Amino acid sequence: MNAFYTELTNCFKLFLITFCLLFISTLAVAQEQSESLLDHVILKSHIDDLPGISKRKKIRALVSYSKTDFFFTSTGTPKGLQVDLLTEYEKQLNAGVKKETDKIRVQYIPTTFNRLIPDLLEGKGDIISTLMTITPKREEKINFISGKIARIQELVVSHKSISDINSLEDLAGQQVYVLKGSSYVEHLKELNQAFKEKNLAEINIVEADPHLMTEDILELVNSGVIKLTVSDGYKARIWAKILPDIRVLDSVAIKSDTHIGWAIRKNNPELQKSLNTFLKKIKKGTYLGNMLFNRYYKKDTWIKNPNADKERKKFLAFIDLFEKYGAQYGFDSLAIAAQGYQESRLDQKKKSHRGALGIMQLLPSTAADKNIAISDIHKAENNIHAGVKYMAFLRDRYFSDPNISKKDQMAFSWAAYNAGPAKVRKMRALTKKMGLDPNIWYSNVEVAAAKMIGRETVEYVSNIFKYYIAYRLVQDQVSRQ
């Protein structure tokens, strides 16, 4: 426990503000500003320095939507470590400014992790507001704000069933599933070069889908779908308090003494000076560990392993039906199976308090609608048929625009299945108002969804997508055998 708090404190002493006394007022400010934080994002690209930012009264923070750095509560309030930090930085920028109209406000620009650096360089944001690992390759493109004070380790994390990984050499020939575009990929490749010189088998490095964050991958490890991944040590230890089936391997560090920080473009010296001033004011707090854990990490309904023996038997019992109706209506059968698993754990006997029935948790009235017209959904085949046909109706009626990718058509249809097409229409309208892309669910409409109605629909789509990844991983493994 002492080691956990020591590393966690060392990691965040770069950024953590001494707002013990201001804790309540900070929360109040964040909540009051929640309506304006994401609205009216400036769509034009800007690569100018702090004077230009001050003139626009907007400083754009590129964030990755995650359960750690930036997310929404069930009431639609933005939360996360980066929200707190940038709220404090906003105070520094506005010190002595009396008129509200003259104050600089932070605007959050959600994007996927692998797009953070490209979007910064293209002028879509002013700061990468994520604790990103500093590497020589990244320093060629961007400047980091960190002072290189805090040091972290990049540690291997395994499922509890794995007992034979005790050193770096034990990774030889193993498959390691990691965040796409992360420093973990870079450092694992360096390790592979060292293995090659020692005549050891290379690590099979698998980069995750760009819509999965480290927290998502840790959930997949916890469920047993993935056996090995890499995470920053502080983050892995936090999530190990919540995810009971992961093991943080302290003795297996693919990189030690790395540094983290925010990042900006190289041609913004005034912004760098301002952020460095902010950095010098930051001090660690003794309440740090509990504050982070209690505010940002709490127990939830974590995803399960749909490929566990018992669950696999249910999957095999219904896969022919998912394939039959998936092909009939133009869906990936595994994506529909993943939806069925999220809805009911593939339990045809399940009935919700609202009267939704079976594997696809469909209301009899929905199945009886003229657009679906399938009766007796108490039977598994009819239930699956009705659910898939309803998904096709949602996709074809509301999301068939050719400007919407197939992946996003699927995500929108899932969201509409959960929340209703009218709400998804409102989500997309809000997304456009916020300056994000209404044709993209991930890191765009999902942000508006969380802001508008809370986390339920966002987590619904996210969980289905993770179950889909789980099914695909197993299918890919079988096909390679």
Give the 3-state secondary structure percentages of the chain, helix then strand then coil, rounded to 5: 50, 15, 35
What tokens appear for 138 in the block? 């990244």
- Which residue type, as a one-letter code, is found at position 66? S
The string of DSSP codes covering 184-217 is: HHHHHHHHHHHHHHTTPPPPEEEEPPTT--HHHH
Which helix (H) or strand (E) segment holds residue 419: the answer is helix 406-419
**CA-CA-CA-CA torsion for 336, 445, 296, 84, nearest 10 degrees?**
170
Beta bridge partners of 248: 157
What tokens appear for 458 in the block? 């966002």
Cα–Cα nearest to 78, from 29, 8, 126: 29
Q: Which of 88, 90, 154, 343 is catalytic?
A: 343
- Whole-angstrom CA distances from 362 to 354, 371, 447, 479 are 10, 14, 26, 33
**CA-CA-CA-CA torsion for 374, 378, 379, 382, nearest 10 degrees?**
20
Cα–Cα nearest to 126, from 142, 112, 114: 142
6-17 burial by CB neighbour count: b if 16+ within 10 A, else e?
Answer: ebbbbbbbbbbb
CB 325 within 8 Å of CB 388: yes
**Other beta carbons within 10 Å of 310:** 9
Distance spanning both ends of the chain, measured CA to CA: 42
Cα–Cα nearest to 408, from 444, 374, 367, 383: 444
Cα–Cα nearest to 213, from 476, 467, 473, 466: 466
Q: Left (φ > 0), alpha (ψ -120 to 50) or beta: where does 376 sit?
A: left
CB 438 within 8 Å of CB 401: no
Grouping H, G, I as helix, E, B as strand and the rest as coil, residue 56 is: helix
The CA distance from 452 to 199, in Å, is 55
**Other beta carbons within 10 Å of 322:** 26
The CA distance from 230 to 218, in Å, is 9
Is 343 marked active-site?
Answer: yes
Q: Which residues are catalytic?
A: 343
